[in-house]
Amino acid sequence: MSNRINAQMRHLNMIIEEGDVQCVVNLRMNRNAFGRLCYLLINFGGLTDSRYVQVQEKVTMCLSILAHHKKNRVTSHDYMRSGQTISAHFHEVLRALLKLHPLLLMKPTPVDANCDNDTWKWFKGCLGALDGTHIGVHVPAKDKARYRNRKGNITVNLLAVCDRNMNFTYALTGWEGSAADARVLKDSLTRANPFKVPQGCYYLCDNGYANIQGFLTPYRRVRYHRDAWGNRASAPQDYRELFNWRHSRARNIIERAFGLLKKRWSILRSPSFYPLDVQNDIVLACILLHNFIRTQMPDDSFEQDEDDFGSPAHETQQEYISTFQSSNEWDNWRDEFAMSMWNNNR
Q: Domain extents for the chain?
A: 2-99, 108-345
Nearest CA to 58 out of 10, 104, 91, 103 is that of 91
Cβ-based burial of 305 (10 A; exposed 0-12, middle 13-18, buried ≥19): middle
Nearest to 215 by CA among 202, 206, 198: 202
pLDDT of residue 236: 75
CA distances to 64, 65, 124, 150, 264 from 69, rounded to whole Å, are 7, 5, 41, 25, 11
Tell me the β-bridge partners of 14. Answer: none
pLDDT per residue rounded down to tens, the chain (346 residues):
566 666 767 767 778 877 888 899 999 999 999 999 999 999 999 999 998 899 999 999 999 999 999 999 999 988 889 999 999 999 999 999 999 999 999 999 999 989 999 999 999 999 999 999 999 999 999 999 999 999 999 999 999 999 999 999 999 999 999 999 999 999 999 998 899 999 999 999 999 999 999 999 999 988 887 666 655 556 777 889 999 999 999 999 999 999 999 999 999 999 999 999 999 999 999 999 999 999 998 777 777 543 433 333 333 335 555 555 666 788 888 888 888 888 887 6
- pTM of the model as a whole: 0.88
Quote the pLDDT of residue 315: 36
Half-sphere exposure of residue 190: CA atoms within 13 angstroms, side-chain side: 9
Beta bridge partners of 133: 158
Distances (CA, A) of 196 to 6, 266, 288: 52, 31, 19
